[in-house]
Amino acid sequence: MTQDIVILAAGKGSRMKSAFSKVLHKVGGVSMVKRVLATAQSIPNAKLHLVVGHQGQQVEQHCQDFSANVVWQNNPQGTGDALRRVAPDLQANGATLTLYGDVPLIQTSTLEKMISLSTQNTLVLLTISLDDPTGYGRIVRNAQGKVTAIVEQKDASAEEKMIQEVNTGILLAPNNHLQGWLKNLNNDNAQGEYYLTDIIAMAANDGVDIVTVNPENEAEVAGVNDRVQLAALERELQRQTAIELMQNGTSLLDPSRIDVRGELVSGQDVVIDVNCIFEGKVVLADNVEIGPNCHLKNCSVGAGTVIKSNTLIDDSQVGEYCDIGPFARLRPGTVLADKAKIGNFVETKKAHIGEGSKVNHLSYVGDTQMGQGVNVGAGTITCNYDGVNKHQTTIGDGVFIGSNSSLVAPVNVAKGATVAAGSTITKEVKQDQLAFARARQANKDNWPKPTKK
């Protein structure tokens, strides 16, 4: 049976105290609504519908990478009203799964379980039993245990409020019945809204089978109404991610102190120390070691590489058995070949560092092609920017650059050359040459020291 999946994302979320839509707030570095859309998109042959309202243009633009049918719900009047706006676009012989843009941790496996029970005469509800069901709609069953209705908290009797099985809001209904149920909804309730949950009683009256499915855990169906709940889901997602990493062979020295804000692919016997942040997509090969307080974003790190504390790596490729840090910064476009070394307080950008080359400390290397076995002394910089344009520096294999040197690009230092410490190089250094470019030292007697004014 074909699937329509409707994601409700029209609410304002006033309790977030935010200038932008609630569903755009992030969990694990990804907006809540994008997480739900990605899960929905994992269902084969599903047609996605995104219902927007408050700041709908921003939400629509934010989600444009997903091929979703965008439906507007101005002046929203409840979940039933939202589905009625989508009704004309639903497939005639399919079923509609309703999800929520502020319930970001719903799992594909749970949705697949619901879909497996769906028929033209079956409505599938996702329910959960809570120790404290306050605020949730209660699942009402008859003496035979069959679901007969869902009663919202504000409309529930004292007896109904004692029910612990609650509605998660996620349901799967056959479209051949759903269209008629939506037309028959009314807003005769305490909120004056059209409740989607009212179709449960209609389904029972029409003899439609109502079956229930439970999620794996409560966090999977937890919604976000304020920043406290958002933070709680962030911690839960990080906990789940840490467990998955450890189960797949990664050692976390403190599982409660890691943040994955995107996707982390980690090989076997990787060791990650405390307070590390991973953004975007990060790939770590086997036996990588990462020290404390490191920040890696959109990068790959080869096997056996050691990244020492307080290192930042952004949009870069790191080879095998490299040695990086502490306090190093690899900016976008950096490529390190195998066994390269980047030491403390070194910054690179758009730099290709050859195999076994070393930039040990206190240097800036930008817009540079560096060969194998190069040694760059402390305090060396490539002067790649003339105030308007960037220029390239080329350093051949086996070059030795003395400390406190400046290479003014565009410039080429050929294979085997040596640059004397303290030199400012402005023209080509040929193969195996020694270049020294510094003024002759002059000493003056009785030099009057400056005084403080």
Domains of the chain: 3-221 (3.90.550.10), 227-435 (2.160.10.10)
CB contact at 8 A, 59 and 24: yes
pLDDT of 400-435, one tens digit each?
A: 999 999 999 999 999 999 999 999 999 999 999 999
Beta-carbon contacts of residue 316 (< 8 Å; ≥ 6 apart):
299, 330, 331, 332, 333, 334, 335, 336, 348
Model confidence band, residue 74 (pLDDT cutoffs 50, 70, 90): confident
Residue 364 among known ligand-binding residues: yes
Q: What pLDDT score does 178 carry? A: 97
Q: What is the mean pLDDT of residues 53-60?
A: 94
Provide mean pLDDT across the span 74-97: 93
* % of residues, the chain, pLDDT over 70: 100
pLDDT at 205 exceeding the cut of 90: yes
Of 196, 236, 199, whose CA–CA distance to 215 is shortest? 236
**For residue 439, is pLDDT > 90?**
no
Closest CA to 84 of 3, 200, 196: 196
Residue 417 annotated as lining a ligand binding site: no
Rounded to whole angstroms, the Cα distance separating 245 from 268 reads 10
Residue 450 has pLDDT above 80, yes or no: no
Is there a binding annotation on residue 10?
yes
DSSP string, 402-429: -TT-EEESSEEE-TT-EE-TT-EE-S-B
Q: Identify the band that residue 451 occupies on the pLDDT scale cut at 50, 70 and 90.
A: confident
Asked whether residue 448 carries a pLDDT value surpassing 90, the answer given is no
Q: How far apart are CA 38 and CA 28, in angstroms?
A: 14
Confidence label for 325 from pLDDT (cuts 50, 70 and 90)? very high
Residue 87, pLDDT score: 96
CA atoms of 47 and 297, how far apart (whole Å)? 33
Q: Which pLDDT score is estimated for 235?
A: 97
424 contacts 408 by C-beta, under 8 angstroms? yes
Predicted confidence band of residue 322 (pLDDT cuts 50, 70, 90):
very high
pLDDT for residue 188: 87
The pLDDT-based confidence of 120 (bands split at 50, 70, 90) is very high
Residue 403 labeled ligand binder: yes
Confidence (pLDDT) at 447: 81
The answer to whether the CB of 80 falls within 8 A of the CB of 195 is yes
Q: What is the pLDDT of residue 353?
A: 98
Burial grade of 29 (CB within 10 A; 0-12, 13-18, 19 or more): middle
Rounded Cα distance, 67 and 47, in Å: 8
How far is Cα of residue 449 from the mean position of the Cα atoms in its chain?
57
Residue 449 in tokens: 């020291």
pTM above 0.75, yes or no: yes
* Count, residues in the chain: 453
pLDDT in tens, 334-383: 999 999 999 999 999 999 999 999 999 999 999 999 999 999 999 999 99
Answer yes or no: are the C-beta atoms of 214 and 235 closer than 8 Å.
no
pLDDT at 297: 98
How many C-alpha atoms does 220 have within 13 Å on its Cβ side? Answer: 16
Q: Just list the catalytic residues.
A: 361
Residue 189: band (very low, low, confident or very high) from pLDDT cuts 50, 70, 90: confident
Least confident among 47-61, 144-158, 435-449? 435-449
For the chain, give the mean pLDDT: 95
DSSP assigned state of 328: -
| 242 annotated among ligand-binding-site residues | no
Mean pLDDT, to the nearest integer, of 247-260?
98
**Residue 329, pLDDT score:** 98
Cβ burial 347-374 (10 Å sphere, 16+ → b, else e): bbbbbbbbbbbbbbbbbbbbbbbbbbbb
DSSP state of 25: S
Residues 6+ apart with CB under 8 A from 326: 291, 308, 309, 310, 311, 344
pLDDT at 162 over 80: yes
Which has the closest alpha carbon to 123: 96, 99, 144, 163?
Answer: 96
Give the Cα separation of 242 and 31 in Å (integer): 20
